[in-house]
Amino acid sequence: MNDADISLALDRAITALSASGDDALSKACGEGYPDPTNVADWAERLEHLLLHERDEAALRAALPDLADQLLRLLRSLALPDDVTAEQVVIELLDRLPETRCRLAEDVEAAFQGDPAARSHAEAVVAHPSIHALALYRIAHDLHRLGVPLAPRIITERAHSTTGIDIHPGAQIGRSFFIDHGTGVVIGETCEIGDHVRLYQGVTLGALSPRLGQSIRGMKRHPTLEDEVTIYPGATILGGETVIGRGSVIGGNAFLTHSVPAGSRVVPETPRQRVRRSTDSGPEQEGALDWEV
């Protein structure tokens, strides 16, 4: 082996990798997409302004650059025919005060709902759901305006850093609180009311995901009315599934049907065996078993 052999191997690899094809990666390259890192970094800069910045001079220094960066990004995307990049930037800027208001309500919900939180500042900087919700609310505004790809990239950044997976198409009301958060999944067509609380490991998913593209655009994910609480590990599936106002869904529940307002859904307690060993050790004769 010598340098010439390596050069030939490089040439073969480059020729093969650059050859056109009809596989999924070739299709993705042909469709085009923005740099995910640039999109996510832009969203996190905007998130920082919304959550942390109140100084007018600092806002005047930072926000024009963010608007210009977004404009360049949008001009590189295939926007719907009735949408212009300038229009999206203007509407997003006009929406920012309301987005901050929603985030303030989310922070209040996190502070009031978590007895371990010592301050509102702790809720902002140390609660993973606030980071996930801030990026979701930015992404949802872009999604609502018809922007392709970028909203999903933004929420996937939150997913990768918090373990909370919220599709930008989901509709989430005011004062939303996710405690702990790891493993939460909220699907594209979910509708979530006001003052809803979720815990870790909750899945709000589709009932028939194997149908794939054939059900795109249909209501596939559940609706949670106001003041619903869902405890850890619960799974709720289906576009026709509605959890009525004020209901409480217990941990590890599995639901594919609606429940009326004020419901309490509690899975049957599993039977478990408790073993008490004697002084001679847990594997010796004389150990006592009983079920609970």
Summarize pLDDT for 6-18 with one digit per residue, the tens: 999 999 999 988 8
Q: Examine residue 19 and state whether it is found in any structural domain, yes or no.
A: no
pLDDT at 278: 62
Domain range for 52 is 31-163
93/16 Cα distance (integer angstroms): 45
- Domain final residue, candidates 100, 131, 163: 163
Q: Are residues 132 and 213 in the same domain?
A: no
Query: Do 130 and 182 share a structural domain?
Result: no
Does any domain span residue 58? Answer: yes
Q: Is 265 helix (H, G, I), strand (E, B) or coil?
A: strand
Whole-number pLDDT of residue 73: 95
Residues 40 and 87 in one domain: yes
Mean pLDDT of 116-126: 96
pLDDT of residue 290: 47
124 and 100 housed in the same domain: yes
Q: How many CA atoms lie within 13 A of 22 on its CB side?
A: 0
- pLDDT digits 0-9 by tens, 37-91: 999 999 999 999 999 999 999 999 999 999 999 999 999 999 999 999 999 999 9
pLDDT at 164 over 60: yes
Q: Are 165 and 98 in contact (CB under 8 A)?
A: no
Give the separation between CA 141 and CA 169, rounded to whole angstroms: 9
Q: Would you say residue 181 has pLDDT above 80?
A: yes
135, 192: one domain: no
pLDDT for the residue numbered 153: 98
Q: Same domain for 230 and 200?
A: yes
pTM of this prediction exceeds 0.75: yes
> Which pLDDT does position 21 carry in this prediction?
80
Q: How many CA atoms lie within 13 A of 263 on its CB side?
A: 19
Question: Helix %, strand %, coil % for the chain, to 5?
Answer: 45, 15, 40
* pLDDT of the residue at 280: 53
pLDDT at residue 277 greater than cutoff 90: no
106 CB-near residues (< 8 Å, 6+ apart) = 129, 130, 133, 175, 176, 177
Is 17 inside a domain boundary?
no
48 & 76 share domain: yes
pLDDT tens per residue across span 188-229: 999 999 999 999 999 999 987 677 787 888 999 999 999 999
Residue 54's contacts (CB-CB under 8 Å, 6 or more residues apart) are none
Same domain, 157 and 57: yes
User: Could you give the CA distance from residue 135 to residue 137 in angstroms, rounded to a whole number?
Assistant: 6
Q: What is the CATH number of the domain that holds 245?
A: 2.160.10.10
12 within domain boundaries? no
Q: What pLDDT shows up at residue 286? A: 46
Report, as an integer, the average pLDDT of 172-201. 97
CATH number of 69's domain: 1.10.3130.10
Task: Evaluate whether residue 223 is within a structural domain.
Answer: yes
Whether 155 and 174 map to the same domain: the answer is: no
Phi, psi for 280 (deg, rounded to 5): -80, -5
48 and 154 share a domain?
A: yes
Q: How many domains does the chain have?
A: 2
Same-domain status, 35 and 150:
yes
Q: Are residues 194 and 107 in the same domain?
A: no
pLDDT bucket at 281, cuts 50 / 70 / 90: low
Among 116, 141, 163, the domain boundary falls at 163
Judge whether 137 lies within some domain: yes
Residue 51 lies in a domain: yes
The more confidently predicted of residues 24 and 201 is: 201
22 within a domain of the structure (yes/no): no
**pLDDT tens digits for 236-273?**
999 999 999 999 999 999 999 999 999 999 998 777 78
